[in-house]
């Protein structure tokens, strides 16, 4: 049997070769890709896995699953100030999905649309048939000027803390998704009461944020030019802020009432401890970064010109840890923990 006779090779050429027309992908005929790094540049590499039952539902649209898998990785690259360049895709899917032309066509179609919009190419990967588990791993890489990748560990005392977009959309979107698939009985009473106050259209907006997290690609260059430290918000703002503070060996004071939230949630923030739920919910994939105080005006001007929504929510201090405060400086208790795969 020649390589072209193998069912797996035919599968790859049918679905994924059209996404890999970069010469460095070698037509997906080889076991590896060769990547040329321009002089003065370094690769920034990130990998994430999404698994059915944890990060998405088995019955989610294949297009949404594809977009989420790719975007959660690109979010990490943006937070490092890098320009996305390419990615590798490893699929572990049940036979009924791999053999479904409708499912696979929708999945790769969405990948193609997103990779074109984000400016990157598929360069390789792997495909595994499983009994009943769906897992998708993407290893994405981007380019950054040598030595200039923005780490989590660069925050300095006096820097200002910024976050892009809105926080907590996906957390409530998950409630809406559960309600759509499993009924309201799958939710707690406070969750049911909140969704009852939202219109069907508002629930759909939040549900989409969970299914297909937004990516502010334009933020990458601004992070590179201005940020002292940066990371994406994936496990909840409270936990990720603590991670950034720990890496930088500093503290953060965050103005709880300055944190941006989706407009449809604003009228309900004081009910059922919703602010805390939004701050500790995961899957936002926004950018959390620190900017030196002397550069804040220039950063705000540049990011507004790029039409990336951003808000200053706090500052870097010497005392380690993260404190949430009200407008008058009173400490606000945020009791719930952010998402942790190991807890």
pLDDT of the residue at 27: 78
| 313 contacts 279 by C-beta, under 8 angstroms | no
Residues of the chain with pLDDT under 70: 1-5, 335-343
Q: Considering the domain boundaries, does residue 340 fall inside one?
A: no
Same domain, 178 and 141: no
Same domain, 22 and 119: yes
Same domain, 206 and 285: yes
Same domain, 179 and 136: no
Same domain, 174 and 280: yes
pLDDT of the residue at 23: 83
> What CATH number is associated with residue 297?
3.90.650.10
pLDDT of the residue at 15: 87
pLDDT of the residue at 145: 97
Last residue of a domain, one of 95, 116, 145: 145
3-state secondary structure the chain: CCHHHCHHHHHHHHHCHHHCCCHHHHHHCCCCCCCCCCCCEEEEEEEEEEEECCCECCCCCHHHHHHHHHHHHHHHHHHCCCEEEEEEEEEEEEHHHHCCHHHHHHHHHHHHHHHHHHCCEEEEEEEEEECCCCEEEEEEEEEEECCCCCCCCCCCCCCEEEEECCCCHHHHHHHHHHHHHHCHHHCCHHHHHHHHHCCHHHHHHHHHHHHCCCCCCCHHHHHHHHCCEEEEECCCHHHHHHHHHHHHCCEEEEEHHHCCCCHHHHHHCCCCCHHHHHHHCCCCCEEEEEECHHHHHHHHHHHHHCCCCEEEEEEEECCCEEEEECCCCCEECCCCCCCCCCC
pLDDT of the residue at 271: 86
Can you give the residue range of the structural domain that contains 284? 160-332
Please give the angle made by the CA atoms of 60, 62 and 68, to the nearest 5 degrees: 80
Same domain, 139 and 193: no
Same domain, 320 and 257: yes
pLDDT of the residue at 25: 74
pLDDT of the residue at 340: 58
Each residue of 124-143: pLDDT tens digit?
Answer: 999 999 999 999 999 999 99
Total count of domains within the chain:
2
pLDDT of the residue at 335: 59
Same domain, 84 and 180: no
Q: Considering the domain boundaries, does residue 193 fall inside one?
A: yes
Same domain, 50 and 179: no
Neighbours of 194 (CB within 10 A): 21
Q: What's the predicted TM-score (pTM) here?
A: 0.93
Same domain, 128 and 198: no
């Amino acid at each position: 049997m020649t390589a072209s006779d193998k069912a797996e090779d035919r599968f790859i050429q049918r679905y994924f070769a059209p996404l890999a027309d970069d010469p460095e992908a070698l037509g997906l005929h080889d076991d590896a890709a060769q990547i040329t790094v321009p002089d003065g540049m370094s690769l920034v590499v990130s990998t994430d896995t999404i698994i059915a039952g944890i990060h998405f539902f088995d019955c989610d649209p294949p297009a949404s699953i594809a977009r989420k898998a790719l975007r959660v990785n690109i979010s990490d690259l943006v937070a490092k100030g890098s320009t996305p360049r390419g990615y590798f895709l490893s699929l572990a899917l049940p036979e009924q999905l791999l053999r479904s032309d409708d499912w696979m066509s929708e999945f790769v179609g969405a990948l193609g649309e997103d990779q074109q919009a984000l400016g990157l190419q598929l360069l390789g990967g792997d495909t595994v048939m499983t009994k009943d588990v769906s897992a998708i791993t993407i290893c994405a890489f981007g380019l950054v000027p040598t030595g200039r990748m923005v780490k989590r560990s660069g925050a300095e005392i006096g820097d200002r803390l910024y976050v892009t977009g809105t926080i907590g959309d996906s957390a409530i979107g998950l409630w809406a998704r559960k309600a759509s698939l499993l009924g309201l009985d799958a939710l707690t009473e406070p969750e049911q009461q909140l969704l009852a106050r939202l219109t069907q259209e508002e629930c759909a907006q939040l549900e989409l944020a969970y299914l297909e997290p937004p990516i502010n690609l334009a933020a990458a260059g601004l992070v590179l030019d201005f940020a002292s430290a940066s990371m994406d918000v994936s496990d909840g703002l409270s936990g990720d802020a603590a991670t950034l503070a720990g890496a930088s060996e500093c503290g953060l004071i965050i103005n709880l009432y300055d944190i941006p939230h989706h407009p449809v949630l604003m009228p309900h923030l004081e009910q059922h401890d919703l602010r805390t739920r939004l701050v500790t919910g995961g899957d936002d994939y926004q950018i959390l970064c620190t900017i030196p105080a002397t550069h804040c005006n220039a950063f705000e001007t540049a990011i507004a010109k790029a039409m990336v929504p951003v808000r200053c929510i706090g500052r870097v201090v010497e005392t380690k840890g993260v404190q949430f405060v009200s407008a008058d400086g009173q400490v606000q208790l945020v009791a719930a923990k952010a998402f942790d795969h190991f807890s």
